[in-house]
Structure 1
Amino acid sequence: MKGGHGGLMDSIYRRQRHIYDLSRKFYLLGRDGLIADLAPPPGGAVLEIGCGTGRNLIAVGKAWPEARLYGVDISAAMLETARKAVTKAGMADRVVLAQGDGCEFDAAALFGREAFERVFISYALSMIPDWQGALRQAARCVADGGKLEVVDFGQQDRLPKFWKQALFGWLARFHVAPRAELRQAFEGLAADMGGFPHSHVLYRGYAIRGGLIRV
């Protein structure tokens, strides 16, 4: 994964990963609310796609101490940081991390299981070129009766126009592109794969939260 999108992510985060969690807490809004709502069943498996530094998985582990935790990311640099963070948090025996493309990873080969009671993606779809492919892959990993939860940048609908222009321009410098069709994508997943979609905007459109309940 030295080239392609993995190589790009490594080049972006090779240095940024050291300050990522400190800086991102001010504008990656809605992550903690998603984690608080995951509520996996006792002993349930939770998978994060685009797990980055491991910050979210550690938070899930603290909130749901009986959950089994898995994370996949395309960036080797970010996974190096995640492994150190997980070990420091005392969760090395609970968290399994693996490198893989969010659009086509083999969950059985990486983790020894194909389905997870909870799958979530936090501010990663806006960085994945084939984000719709990644969303379909995430839905395929959800066990029957399980849930897919996503939070990412919204379209800033009820915020000043200059704010949207400034934010989107700044995000583009880091190859981040908020997905305007995210709500429709949840509905399409439900129609194609079965289940019930949901979505709603947060913070006057700053972020969007949504997902799918599989049946």
Structure 2
Amino acid sequence: MSATLAAVPVSAQELSEKATRTFMEYAWTLTPERFTKPNGETILIDKTKRDEILIPLDVAREVIRAGRLSAHAQVCGLAQEQGDNHSSLMRRQSQSKKWTPQQMVYINQLHLTVVMLLTGRIKLVEKPEGGEKGKEAAAKEVVVAEEAQKAAQTCSAEQKAKVKELIAAYVKTGPDLASSSPAGAAPPATAATQPAAAPAAK
């Protein structure tokens, strides 16, 4: 990955089906079997029911697009904008009333996975052996990146201004962020976030 993120994030429409599915597989690998919401409620996720929990491609593209914006915001040190971007995404999905609690957790995890991959917080390494042939995502393992890799990216003043503008426009077209957090939401990835090692997707 380039050490500098592009000034303007690539639109969701430009993301191919293959790339979208790859992001989805990585996110599924990192999706926990148990998720505890801020209010203490626990959501259990049956990892054998993958097809029931994964979301449609068009929705995944929207989540990935938001994740890219959040990644740009993180690299540019825009913590407030990053949080607002994540909250707007989760509130949109919650208010659509289309998803189960498990799917909301997965949507949150997909966003988090995109942020961590694009900011170098996690990386993909080839498995020495195992994994089914033909499944590219399953043939890689997600691991925590080394400190040097996490610090490799930069953000210019022009990029920072553009990211602020894009997030402001995204938030403006979404629901009000003043009320409480939507179900299944969790804080966006920050410099302190560390993903746990996860088994390969089934």
TM-score normalised over the length of structure 2: 0.30
Q: TM-score, normalised by structure 1?
A: 0.29
Greater percentage in helix: 2
Higher strand fraction (1 or 2):
1
With CA pairs under 8 Å and 6+ residues apart, which has the higher RCO, 1 or 2? 2
